[in-house]
Structure 1
């Protein structure tokens, strides 16, 4: 096995022999190997290589130089040290012998996927250790720049996630070390400074926390002319007010850590942090609230048994009317998970009633979201939404309903992909639109236009779909709310399907701008990145598509994910990595698609799982199995009326079958 390392500098190890620097007696020898290490499947056409290594030479001269360089690499070492040809040729394509090499950049990207799947400390530590000082830090070749930036972005995202997991686990010194690394990488990233301040305060190192705030304050003032944000100022004020280590301060900070972990889609880390806060709480009100937060974190993981005692304790202890509405909502979630749907609806409605008197705007919004989800599980979501339109009317256009209607859009996705519900989504959307127009409720009109456009998109009625989605986006914008990312994302999808690449970027930028401030970011970011990957894949740019897939994973690690709203991600990701010849992440995404199909069971979910499995089979050299899986995906898509994806899978099945005919 040949070990090829590019992080921290270029090193080649063959077995136990480290190739000395003097063996690369010509600079272009090493450059050729580096270039192939970074290429998709470690293969490039000769013209691509000469364009990168000899951009200023005439084609004939560059080709001659390439032939000489290949010769030098092939004869760099005595034969007894290298049994396999180091540069292999397939016509005009040159490559590395993939079955005999290990490349640290490939291992890094694979381990990033594994760390996010497992979310354990050892996996993150392995990724961080592998990166060292970045990609080829001493090289200035133009072709390394995009790779270096891409890998650095992945590294920063992994460090942020690693710091969050370490912090939630109470490993404060390790968290501070990682946070300092983040600050060193980009001193103007305020979140890294805030994390470092917080863990220093948690560790009782108040003076250091104050100094870090001052470092941040000076940087922002000198470089950007701004002041630190609210979170940094809050921690600074708390530390100033309590120079001695007080349990109340520690409990409050641990509670904040738990809340941050919940927002980033890490309820397991939140449980650890909230438990630490509970152990340091100083009064019954704090204790009751922390029991409620622990119950919420367990329920976010769909774990009723560990949530029950915390919820019961909070119910017994609380005397705060605002807390009562939150507890009623959690009780509705427990009942829903236990299958007692009538009781769940009773508690959800009670939560809304209590919130109307004593809750905050967020409490009222969360109660509405819970009613929507319970109604969805009961099978009467559509009737419930109609009743809500009649009951609430124009009040639905207030900002308080922006979050709940993002949840309604999420439930609408389930209807679009469900066998028994998809057939009449278009009619339901048209009926809802008529009712909302009569009532003059803009938010419901925006919802209905978007759902109608989505239904038409999946059936290949692209022009009408674009018109409906455009109307939905316009109405969302008129509300001035933080919702409305979905119609823009779907407009980008229409542009990809119609092969209008110039329209994809602007639509995704509009969607991203809304997602940045959306309270329900977990529902939209994965869709946005998946659509970007889909567009790049359709343009024949799988390496760029992989960047979007990795960005989707980073977004899920930061904001959490939604299996319904992220439906497109896994089959596109598996196809992307298959195009790159990277079997491990292709299999990982195929497995994720299969888990979602097992959870929801409908034809569309099974189609996505079959499509992802087909891509994994292709990269593993089994085109016959791939053809069968693509065919199964096409049939499943056809059953649910998704004709665009059915035809696309039919073409992929035919391509795989043709390949199977020529493979011995």
Structure 2
């Protein structure tokens, strides 16, 4: 940081006449800091500024985030013992409000982010205890956490699970009803999928069996891309990002959905980006597709900034870390920059994630494998025209006028959507 920036942080009033005295005072403060941390920890930078010469783990803020992320990842793969150990280390660094002495703390988005991390770490620590069979031990502290975050659905769901595991199903149902009523009164919304599924379990209603993914049902047959489909199905183990490219209507989305059915490395999630108008909304749209919703009340500029695009991407990385899945990013071309950044971030920081994208142009991400789609061959185009035509008008056959049928397919450039 420059000397000017540090002076502005330490002395809030703007008095140019005092600048010379404050420069000397700042040097004195840096001298005291060097005596506390070691002379080599504070480096004088060109232009009169100062640099903190420390690795990430020397700063408890960064160490906390790393340990909390490791604990969350361990929990997601079922290692509750390791998760508890990492989260205990992380929470042991917390000594009161985050950055309590920071000027302008109440409006700082970093403070909001840290408080959110702290809540998640506490939630994950309780989840580890629950996985280790200690439901009764966490009921009281978990109730306090839930009371402080009434609209945090993952926290509320964990409390309800703890009540059920402790043999208190009636209290669990009552807790669900409190959450449902609170969401309705304060936000006008219903509980999300996780809470609704948990409610069904509490009522004894069989929960729907998990599917290989969340793929939309196809209403028509799949014609003409057997070779491309076979290549995609055979390449999952070797490729983490495949982009199907081609003009609009060539069948990229349909091929992606069919290929996703062959993925066996985890669940499949489809993020439809065609309706996303702003690149800043891409990460939030993917979070919704994953069902990783976290409701927050509007609380001024700090929350608004902390829940912006970068925060949504960080939340997405946290959610995907330690999980295995196929993420289909459909129709990326009009938000290509944000889609590329999201894909690269996930591939770099979430080793269990595979991405299948559809776009009229490549994402341009390192490691991307392109699979361009062209028009259907004449024979397949005629078959498609015959099947769709017969569905629209019983008795229709391309063989009744093959020359006209071929002319139709030729004028439509063999594009499946046009046919």
TM-score by length of 1: 0.37
Task: Give the structure 2 partner of residue 204 of structure 1.
Answer: 167
Contact 2:243 / 2:370 at 8 angstroms: preserved in 1?
no
Contact 1:172 / 1:203 at 8 angstroms: preserved in 2?
yes
Task: Give the structure 1 partner of residue 295 of structure 2.
Answer: none
Work out whether 1:89 is the aligned partner of 2:44: yes
Assess, with a 3 A threshold, how the Cα gap between structure 1 residues 515 and 64 changes in structure 2: closer, same or farther. same
Task: Give the structure 1 partner of residue 27 of structure 2.
Answer: 70
Unaligned runs of 5+ in 1: 1-43, 242-248, 260-288, 301-361, 382-410, 417-424, 434-443, 451-481, 492-505, 523-543, 575-588, 598-603, 610-636, 643-664
Contact 1:198 / 1:209 at 8 angstroms: preserved in 2?
yes
Residue by residue, what CA displacement relative to the aligned partner does 1:508-532 show, whole Å, maximum 9, x if unpaired? 33x46654654x568xxxxxxxxxx
Task: Give the structure 2 partner of residue 553 of structure 1.
Answer: 317
Assess, with a 3 A threshold, how the Cα gap between structure 1 residues 567 and 189 changes in structure 2: closer, same or farther. same
Of the candidates 366, 382, 388, which is equivalent to residue 608 of structure 1?
366
Assess, with a 3 A threshold, how the Cα gap between structure 1 residues 98 and 557 changes in structure 2: closer, same or farther. closer
Alpha-carbon distance in 2 for matches of 1:212, 1:135: 30
Assess, with a 3 A threshold, how the Cα gap between structure 1 residues 198 and 69 changes in structure 2: closer, same or farther. same
- 1:149-548 residue pairs with structure 2 within 5 A? 149-163=112-126, 167=130, 170-173=133-136, 176=139, 179-206=142-169, 208-209=171-172, 212-213=175-176, 215-216=178-179, 219=182, 223=186, 365=217, 378-379=230-231, 414-416=242-244, 425-426=245-246, 429=247, 432-433=249-250, 447=253, 485-487=272-274, 506-509=278-281, 511=282, 514-515=285-286, 517-518=288-289, 547=311
Alpha-carbon distance in 2 for matches of 1:547, 1:512: 9
- CA drift at 1:196: 1.2
Assess, with a 3 A threshold, how the Cα gap between structure 1 residues 221 and 154 changes in structure 2: closer, same or farther. same
Unaligned runs of 5+ in 2: 234-238, 257-268, 293-307, 330-338, 356-361, 373-419
Alpha-carbon distance in 1 for matches of 2:287, 2:354: 26
More helix per residue:
1
- CA drift at 1:108: 1.3
More strand per residue:
2
Assess, with a 3 A threshold, how the Cα gap between structure 1 residues 364 and 373 changes in structure 2: closer, same or farther. farther
Alpha-carbon distance in 1 for matches of 2:105, 2:30: 22
- CA drift at 1:94: 1.1
Of the candidates 46, 51, 69, which is equivalent to residue 3 of structure 2?
46
Instruction: Determine which structure has greater relative contact order: mean sequence separation of CA pairs < 8 Å that are 6+ residues apart, divided by chain length.
Output: 2
Assess, with a 3 A threshold, how the Cα gap between structure 1 residues 514 and 210 changes in structure 2: closer, same or farther. closer
Assess, with a 3 A threshold, how the Cα gap between structure 1 residues 561 and 108 changes in structure 2: closer, same or farther. farther
Contact 2:173 / 2:199 at 8 angstroms: preserved in 1?
yes
Alpha-carbon distance in 1 for matches of 2:323, 2:3: 42
Contact 1:194 / 1:231 at 8 angstroms: preserved in 2?
yes
Residue by residue, what CA displacement relative to the aligned partner does 1:273-325 show, whole Å, maximum 9, x if unpaired? xxxxxxxxxxxxxxxx7xxx6xx7xx89xxxxxxxxxxxxxxxxxxxxxxxxx
- CA drift at 1:596: 7.2
* SS state at 1:95 partner: strand
Contact 2:41 / 2:54 at 8 angstroms: preserved in 1?
no
Aligned residues: 319
